[in-house]
Amino acid sequence: MKCPYCGEDNTQVVDTRENEEGDTVRRRRRCLHCDKRFTTYERIELQLPLVVKKNGSRVDYDRDKMRSSLMLALRKRPVATEGVEAAIDRIEDKLVQLAEREVPSDRVGELVMRELKKLDKIAYIRFASVYRNFADVDEFSDVIREVKAPRRCAPAK
């Protein structure tokens, strides 16, 4: 592994840890040349399907694009990065389980909305308003009603 600071090939693993699911390994490394430390991650490379966009073009699935879309919806919301990464992992798991070579972008969008709904209701509404391209306020209100928890009435005396 090359050092990102000096480019030297000679590095040493200082610490290794697996995440809770056991599908990612985090390694702390030390460059033997410049003595700086850095972190690397190992994860299984899954064969994810191509994403078919609405215009018919096909693009490779991009984890970074998925992360940036989620982070945009979650901007200034109290959701930990670990929660976002776990949501992306679940989306990717579902895409792999489909066992299809291609998947429509709207299917990916629905998976994202499902995960955002679990993570943060406000982020879900933000994403849905852009993704579903609301035509009027009534559509927006419908989504708010969908996520709004029913209020409990005080017991009668």
Amino acid (one-letter) located at 99 = A
The DSSP bridge pattern shows strands 50-52 and 58-59 to be antiparallel
Between CA 91 and CA 97 the distance in angstroms is 10
Whether the CB-CB separation of 66 and 88 falls below 8 Å is answered with yes
* Radius of gyration of the chain, Cα coordinates, nearest whole angstrom: 21
Model pTM above 0.75 = no
- Judge contact between 56 and 64, C-beta under 8 A: no
Task: Output the average pLDDT for the chain.
Answer: 86
Average pLDDT for 61-65: 92
Rounded to an integer, the average pLDDT of 133-149 is 68
Split at pLDDT 50, 70, 90, the class of 150 is low
The set of residues, in sequence order, having a beta carbon less than 8 Å from that of 100 and lying 6+ positions away, is 49
